[in-house]
Structure 1
């Protein structure tokens, strides 16, 4: 199978390329060459998806069985890609997000709902991330003359993660000492490895499957405590997890989901709905998720090769001074 990946140099896009090559597919990537190195074995075509001439040059005289778009965030830009590649590919797989579901995360996600109201030609300032992802979905559906596979992942982790959720926790716990562990250790998480999203996308495309699929780990999966214990185990740090309850953290001004990655405070933030994403339809279509221990261990193996000062956490993670102050206040209250 001939596969074109828009993006393909970092995290999920890179996982798609590596999996496609492992299956013996002929892979082309299209990107600007700025985000990361090319995957050996894939043909790299340089270009900017925001430049119409670059898209036309990419498509001229060529065709693919599958396009996987892992880097679409602006509807009008995604629409240009879909139109330029229409007639040059059989299936267009667009990687969206559960955040595109209308009403999410304030309301739970449904299996196959419409996305947030957003025009297919909306620009970069027309709504937040989830709203624009919904517009991107419409841009593909309206602009591509062929089968459309829409993958709506939940929270994605794994080697190569640049958002910084799991990498921040691994880095913090690897330093040892008393580590602020937020909320209830029994709180359930629903996480999916980027490599499993890649496998599902390629499996579905190879079978000619189209439609929308919510892709995440199993609901009621690992608890927050189990997850952080895995981080402590793989890093071998001997860190002491100090569990601080939700209300106290809110009083102390701790930030949910970002400052303390993946900590949610229901119902005020709505982020608890990330842990109740229905995946029965995707499972019926072949979704399989690896053990969380494999994801944590493989991410640490990848991360430890990167000098700490060069690790990217985006805006995720709590400052050491603030963590220490909260732990001191918690100890004083407990005493």
Structure 2
């Protein structure tokens, strides 16, 4: 397979590049060249935010393209128009954020989505940006474009900082504020499993939207944090704390306590979708222990500090606030 990657040096794009190279696909990546691409990837320089930033794609044909763009959808519209007729299949890593809030538990790909437009430029909210990009591809390719609606993504190369924060916090040891309930089911996807499923789907020429995240309950909050304790080998003591007490203290779920949400509408929205369609199309998710151990190994290999996306706020609970909650 001749694969074109739009990106290919960070988190999901890097995982896709490495998976494709491992399959002995011929991989070309268009990016700004600010970070090295994985070995075996041919790089074309281009900045999708610049005028004529797609000039390097003026010639060439590919069996498929994988696009991970997360900003204004006009860039996806431009790449779709430039490549239409020269790529066999177009896959876009979208997001479950395109769904209109709230969602009923177990909602599938037919759930209502947020309003958006394919030609938006400038600063565009994340959900509208992802949905607008989907519309741009539907406009150019109809229902044949693959829309990979990923949920929470964890694993090596993570540049949001969620799992890295938990690993580094637990590695410090001592009492750790663990947000309950301990058996709270989670939905997430290892970036490498997302990459493998996407390339399988590309090879099978699947089209339309797919929720790509683990089945509900693939692990729990307890399973995740206990895996972090085992991976780091620390003496951390997980002190499970009721959601009501955490919320009453003004602690922000998802940001101050990454991954975690208290049971309720937002939890149902982010941790309760149906993935039956993706599972039927071959989605397989590795055990949480493997994701945690590999992320910890990667963190140690780079000195412990995970890269941080400039367009996302840093995550994690201030140590003084944590200590105060543990003592109260």
Q: Would you call these one fold, judging by a TM-score over 0.5?
A: yes
> What is the CA–CA distance in structure 1 between the aligned matches of 2:156 and 2:164, rounded to whole Å?
9
Deviation by residue 1:171-204 (Cα, 9 ceiling, x = unmatched):
0000001111012101111121011111111101
- The 1:119–1:106 alpha-carbon spacing in structure 2 relative to 1, beyond 3 Å, is farther
> What is the CA–CA distance in structure 2 between the aligned matches of 1:10 and 1:143, rounded to whole Å?
27
Where does residue 46 of structure 2 map in the other structure? 47
> What is the CA–CA distance in structure 2 between the aligned matches of 1:248 and 1:188, rounded to whole Å?
19
- Cα deviation, residue 162, structure 1: 0.8
> What is the CA–CA distance in structure 2 between the aligned matches of 1:311 and 1:140, rounded to whole Å?
30
- The 1:233–1:306 alpha-carbon spacing in structure 2 relative to 1, beyond 3 Å, is same
> What is the CA–CA distance in structure 2 between the aligned matches of 1:14 and 1:104, rounded to whole Å?
32
- Cα deviation, residue 112, structure 1: 3.3
Deviation by residue 1:213-238 (Cα, 9 ceiling, x = unmatched):
00011112211111101000000001
The equivalent position to 2:229 in structure 1, one of 224, 227, 232, is 232
Query: Contact conserved, 2:101 with 2:269, CA < 8 A, in 1?
Result: no
In terms of mean alpha carbon deviation, does 71-80 or 86-95 score higher?
71-80
Q: Hey, which bits of structure 1, 4+ residues long, moved more than 4 A?
A: 104-108
Where does residue 85 of structure 2 map in the other structure? 87
The equivalent position to 2:268 in structure 1, one of 268, 272, 277, is 272
Deviation by residue 1:74-97 (Cα, 9 ceiling, x = unmatched):
111211111111112011100000
- Cα deviation, residue 125, structure 1: 3.3
Query: Contact conserved, 2:114 with 2:131, CA < 8 A, in 1?
Result: yes
Deviation by residue 1:255-291 (Cα, 9 ceiling, x = unmatched):
1111001121232x61332111111001111111111
Query: Contact conserved, 1:72 with 1:78, CA < 8 A, in 2?
Result: no
Name structure 1 gaps, 5 residues minimum: 330-335
Query: Contact conserved, 2:31 with 2:47, CA < 8 A, in 1?
Result: yes
> What is the CA–CA distance in structure 2 between the aligned matches of 1:143 and 1:51, rounded to whole Å?
22
Where does residue 327 of structure 2 map in the other structure? 328
Q: 1:214 aligns to what SS in structure 2? A: strand
Q: Between Structure 1 and Structure 2, how many residues are aligned?
A: 325
Where does residue 333 of structure 1 map in the other structure? none
> What is the CA–CA distance in structure 2 between the aligned matches of 1:140 and 1:104, rounded to whole Å?
25
Deviation by residue 1:33-74 (Cα, 9 ceiling, x = unmatched):
22x32111110111101234231x222220101010012421
- Cα deviation, residue 209, structure 1: 1.2
Where does residue 289 of structure 1 map in the other structure? 285
- Cα deviation, residue 108, structure 1: 6.1
Where does residue 173 of structure 2 map in the other structure? 176
> What is the CA–CA distance in structure 2 between the aligned matches of 1:91 and 1:72, rounded to whole Å?
20
Where does residue 302 of structure 2 map in the other structure? 306
- The 1:225–1:146 alpha-carbon spacing in structure 2 relative to 1, beyond 3 Å, is closer
> What is the CA–CA distance in structure 1 between the aligned matches of 2:106 and 2:314, rounded to whole Å?
26
Where does residue 149 of structure 2 map in the other structure? 152
- The 1:52–1:3 alpha-carbon spacing in structure 2 relative to 1, beyond 3 Å, is farther
Query: Contact conserved, 1:94 with 1:150, CA < 8 A, in 2?
Result: yes
> What is the CA–CA distance in structure 2 between the aligned matches of 1:289 and 1:75, rounded to whole Å?
29
- Cα deviation, residue 102, structure 1: 2.8
TM-score relative to the length of structure 1: 0.92
Name structure 2 gaps, 5 residues minimum: none
Q: 2:69 aligns to what SS in structure 1? A: coil
Query: Contact conserved, 1:76 with 1:120, CA < 8 A, in 2?
Result: yes
Query: Contact conserved, 1:265 with 1:272, CA < 8 A, in 2?
Result: no
Where does residue 67 of structure 2 map in the other structure? 69
Q: CA RMSD in A?
A: 1.9
Q: 2:282 aligns to what SS in structure 1? A: coil
> What is the CA–CA distance in structure 2 between the aligned matches of 1:125 and 1:7, rounded to whole Å?
20
Matched, 1:111 2:109: yes
